[in-house]
A and B are shown apart, each in its own frame.
Chain A
Amino acid sequence: MGLRSIDDLFQDIPEHLRVKELDLPPPMSEVEVIREADSLMNASKGGGDMLMFLGGGFYDHFIPTIVDNVVSRSELYTSYTPYQPEMSQGILQALFEYQSLMADLVQMEAVNTSMYDLPTAIGEAILMSNRINHRNVFLIPELMTKDKECVIRNYILGAKMELRKVPFKNGAMDLDALKGMLGPEISGVYLENPNMLGLFDPGATEIRSILDPKMVYVVGVNPTTLGIAKPPGAYGADIVVGEAQPLGIHLSYGGPSTGIFATTMQHVRKMPGRIIGASKDELGRRAFCMTLSTREQHIRRDRATSNICTNEALTSIMAAAYLASLGKNGFRSLGIQLASRGRHLAERMDKLDGFTAPAFKGHFFNEFPVKVDVDVCSLLTECEKRGVLAGINVSEEVSSMKNIFTVATTEMHTSKDYDKLIEVLKAAREVVQ
């Protein structure tokens, strides 16, 4: 190549811009980096190291061993977005299967391969709703975490849309209030089912009939509930979003996981994200490829339906492997068990002096709101001192809710774990009192 040294390759960088050396530690051997990582991790704790009842959309479910085996196949996880379908049939079929499993689960027709997470999926759903009906105001529930609301507000900035909040009554969306808020400027409404408190919203199945036909009904789900609960497609949702983490994706301190995004064939061309379609090769054999790319940024640029490019494909495959592994019977049994465990635990907590569980009347899955007659913040701190993370303080999210926390359970808990929680809650309340 006629070069004398590596530096010859960098002569085009102006002298004054060249750096001599980065101020970073020297290289480490593999042993050393593992040792350092292990010592940092050992200074932290996870669900295996302490008893926790935290939820809020993220749950410490059991993940069948096979799920990790599937995504450890390095032909899959070291591949890029499948731009060359002929040599990428494996990842394409796996993602097509994810789309199909999810379509069946939420009962919609068109599912993309993933959004970054649930909050960004809600943001994208609101933008899509605006593309569908060109209306500018979108309704969200007052019962929504600040974390989500903050993301959504940024997503709709460019479209110059406005958010209005539908109040809640008795722990569910207030349908009378909703009716009063509807009008020709309303693009759609977002309902979370179960909601932020873990309660199923009894109004979910009515909302479609309240909205005018042009309005877009967006439903957010915890997918694990859909083993036993009616899917949003069966009660008129136009777009379904969700957080796929409970489906076999590691908690990993909140990411990565998959934002579920599904819609009807009627609206599929307005959908964001990558979509895999089935087709044939030249010999007429079944083959898969990415499709409807003309919606996407690499073709449509500033007129694309979204900027998303890299997404969360691999965690979608984890969700697919999880669903297939539990299968029809396992997933339904899991749903029954989780909802039953929720009931069981709530009943036990309700018997405790000073605790009301659930804090609002209603049905719930594996998470429910609890009201306590002492300062909830101090109560949770006292529990933590006793080695138990008893729940999430939701009073911080909605100001009208005083001293309410949510408790989540999964199949990872044993009866002894419940005994311990009860004992600790009792002791903690006494101290705080």
Chain B
Amino acid sequence: MKHTYQQARYDEPLLIEKGRPGRIGASLPPWDDNRDLSALLPAGMVREDLKLPEISEPEMIRHYVRLSQMNYGTDSGIYPLGSCTMKYNPKVNDRIASHPTLQRMHPLQPEDTVQGVLAMMYELQEALCEIGGMAGCTLQPAAGAAGEFTGLLIARKYHETRGDLKRDEVIVPDSAHGTNPASAVMAGFKIIEIKSAPDGSVDLNALKGALSERTAAFMITNPSTLGIFEKNICEVQQACHDAGALLYYDGANLNALMGKARPGDMGFDIMHYNLHKTFSTPHGGGGPGSGPVAVSCDLVKYLPVPMVVKEGKTFRLDYDRPDSIGKVKGLYGNIGVLVRAWAFVKVLGGTGLKRASELAVLNASYIRSRIESVYPVPFTAPTKHEFVASADFLKEKGGSAKDVAKMLAERGLHPPTNYFPMIVSEALMIEPTESETMEELDLFSDALLDIAKRSAEEYKLAPRTTTVSRVDEIGAAKNLILNWNQFPKEQ
């Protein structure tokens, strides 16, 4: 198979290695009443030396353009990172978030000066409630994990308020994302992990065995981490509620279900959304994101303060909520992200969101149908927006899921998530999203099929076309170099 990909490679110096003394890339407005430093600061508080780069504006933009050319985003090509929903980030969203009024809007301005933004927040809350089938929503959490933490604080408060003080356990399946148990511990719970059934679904018996008068909540995604719709969802719901526990929905996989089914209708009590996944906001190389939380009727009173409420035609931040859990983030949330998600919902509308989920599922199912005969999918249930295939068969010739990833990178295609979930050996978790064309899906599938035929020797060489070849990650952890002052001195 012919492939000609070549990622840029510059021997680009670090910012501090560039420039010359005296250069500057910005200018300050004039000010003629400057005081003496010694008068401005308490004795002993004056800074002696300041180490910062000295570079010009053109040097700086070249630096970052080169860095960007040594990077890969959804704007570069397919990015089928399972569980991460790397869909296209519409440019109109950025335009709206860059409105000069919003950019210079201070968080402590009076409410009557920020009505437009409050209106957007309110509309987004309402839309998210409708999409999730929930009764109330907060936009405060800054990411999915922060949403989980918020939701679990709500669960905690709910049980406490009812005088049900023994509930100190949260159950998660062994396929759960790492943030689920980590968030539950931060909210003060012990973790009970249950094994998944052989078909990848929740093992009802294991769940019933784990549920008790100590269970505060059961956390799952649906579709599961394997991309499978939870066939026992009604029984799961029944079992949890019979035991007095709440059911938590990790919204990382909502892209399969918009306009098709709603967590609220399935009996979930609390859910979070990942706006940087399902709602098309850019992931920024690690963030910012946003993880709104929505809850059923009985739990609305516990949502964080402030809530955006509407009274007549005006919007207000409501702090007067005596049962609220308080706050999980400063101020009101990642507004720049919320505004982008607002635009996404507006442009797609109800029918468009539904279509997005349909295409996401179609695209994943298509890739599965193209590669399944070579990369086994260990579960027979139909695929939703993503699926997990195994590269275990490559072990025989000394290959691995990691090798597949590096071979894809070599062809300029972003690899799927690998080694997650841990319950599938040599896992390749593939989520193309609705954004990809048939041509791109074929390119990706063809590449996977071709890679399976390659030899272990070739695997070990990959990737050769990326900016660097395999990075010594073990070495990085052993000899820590975390800033530019820590490089070993050259001899």
A14 touches B234 (CB 8 A): yes
- Which residues of B lie under 8 Å from residue A120 when comparing CB positions? 142, 146, 328-330
Q: How many of B's residues come within 8 Å of A, CB to CB?
A: 193
Q: How far is the CA of A308 from the CA of B291 in the complex (A)?
A: 12
Q: How far is the CB of B404 from chain A (nearest CB, A)?
A: 12
| Closest chain B residue to A120, Cβ basis | B329
Whether a CB of chain A sits under 8 angstroms from the CB of B15 is yes
Chain A: interface residue count, which band? 35 or more
- Which residues of B lie under 8 Å from residue A368 when comparing CB positions? none
Whether a CB of chain A sits under 8 angstroms from the CB of B187 is yes
- CB-CB under 8 A for A109 and B45, given A23-B130, A325-B60, A337-B28: no
Whether a CB of chain B sits under 8 angstroms from the CB of A211 is no
Q: How far is the CA of A279 from the CA of B473 in the complex (A)?
A: 7
Whether a CB of chain B sits under 8 angstroms from the CB of A113 is yes
Q: How far is the CA of A27 from the CA of B381 in the complex (A)?
A: 33
Restricting to A20-62, which residues have a CB under 8 Å from any CB of B?
21-30, 33-34, 36-50, 52, 54, 56, 58, 60, 62
B55 touches A327 (CB 8 A): yes
B interface secondary structure, majority: loop
- Which residues of A lie under 8 Å from residue B328 when comparing CB positions? 120, 151, 154
Whether a CB of chain A sits under 8 angstroms from the CB of B469 is yes
Q: How far is the CA of A140 from the CA of B30 in the complex (A)?
A: 39
The digit string for B478-491, where 1 denotes a CB below 8 A from any CB of A, is 01111111110000
Q: How far is the CA of A29 from the CA of B102 in the complex (A)?
A: 22
Whether a CB of chain B sits under 8 angstroms from the CB of A304 is yes
Whether a CB of chain B sits under 8 angstroms from the CB of A1 is yes
- Which residues of B lie under 8 Å from residue A70 when comparing CB positions? 60-61, 64
Q: How far is the CA of A4 from the CA of B102 in the complex (A)?
A: 47
Q: Which of B204-212, B239-247, B281-289 contacts A (4 or more CB under 8 A)?
A: B281-289
Q: How far is the CB of B485 from chain A (nearest CB, A)?
A: 7
Whether a CB of chain B sits under 8 angstroms from the CB of A160 is yes
B482 touches A251 (CB 8 A): no
* Contact for B286 among A11, A21, A82, A307, CB less than 8 A: A82
* Contact for A302 among B28, B185, B475, CB less than 8 A: B185
B473 touches A230 (CB 8 A): no
B288 touches A9 (CB 8 A): no
Q: Which of A71-79, A178-186, A420-428 contacts B (4 or more CB under 8 A)?
A: A71-79
Restricting to B8-37, which residues have a CB under 8 Å from any CB of A?
11-12, 14-16, 19, 22-29, 31, 33-35, 37
Q: How far is the CA of A249 from the CA of B327 in the complex (A)?
A: 23
Q: Which of B256-264, B387-395, B444-452 contacts A (4 or more CB under 8 A)?
A: B256-264
Whether a CB of chain A sits under 8 angstroms from the CB of B378 is no
* Contact for A297 among B66, B110, B179, CB less than 8 A: B179
* Contact for B71 among A88, A151, A231, A325, CB less than 8 A: A88
- Which residues of A lie under 8 Å from residue B120 when comparing CB positions? 37, 40
B15 touches A97 (CB 8 A): yes
B31 touches A58 (CB 8 A): no
The digit string for B93-132, where 1 denotes a CB below 8 A from any CB of A, is 0111111111111111110011111011000000100110
Restricting to B390-430, which residues have a CB under 8 Å from any CB of A?
405-406, 409, 414-415, 417, 420
Whether a CB of chain B sits under 8 angstroms from the CB of A292 is yes
- Which residues of A lie under 8 Å from residue B456 when comparing CB positions? none
Q: Which of A163-171, A270-278, A351-359 contacts B (4 or more CB under 8 A)?
A: A270-278
A307 touches B476 (CB 8 A): no
Q: How far is the CB of A148 from chain B (nearest CB, A)?
A: 6
- Which residues of B lie under 8 Å from residue A46 when comparing CB positions? 100-106, 109
* Contact for B466 among A41, A87, A312, CB less than 8 A: A87
A42 touches B116 (CB 8 A): yes
B471 touches A326 (CB 8 A): no
Q: How far is the CA of A308 from the CA of B101 in the complex (A)?
A: 31
Whether a CB of chain A sits under 8 angstroms from the CB of B309 is no
B348 touches A279 (CB 8 A): no
- CB-CB under 8 A for A253 and B179, given A13-B229, A279-B471, A328-B50: no
* Contact for A310 among B51, B64, B286, B343, CB less than 8 A: B286
| Closest chain B residue to A391, Cβ basis | B108
B182 touches A306 (CB 8 A): yes
Q: A147-B327, A200-B42 are in contact. List 17 more A-B contacts (CB 8 A).
A: A9-B382, A24-B350, A34-B92, A40-B115, A44-B115, A46-B106, A46-B109, A54-B109, A76-B73, A87-B72, A96-B14, A229-B45, A287-B468, A298-B179, A307-B145, A336-B37, A411-B31
Q: Which 3 A-B pairs have the closest CB atoms?
A: A90-B71, A254-B107, A313-B286
Sample (17) of A-B pairs whose CB atoms are under 8 Å apart: A6-B361, A12-B228, A19-B133, A22-B258, A44-B114, A46-B106, A64-B25, A77-B283, A81-B283, A82-B285, A120-B329, A147-B330, A154-B149, A202-B42, A293-B477, A301-B191, A306-B182
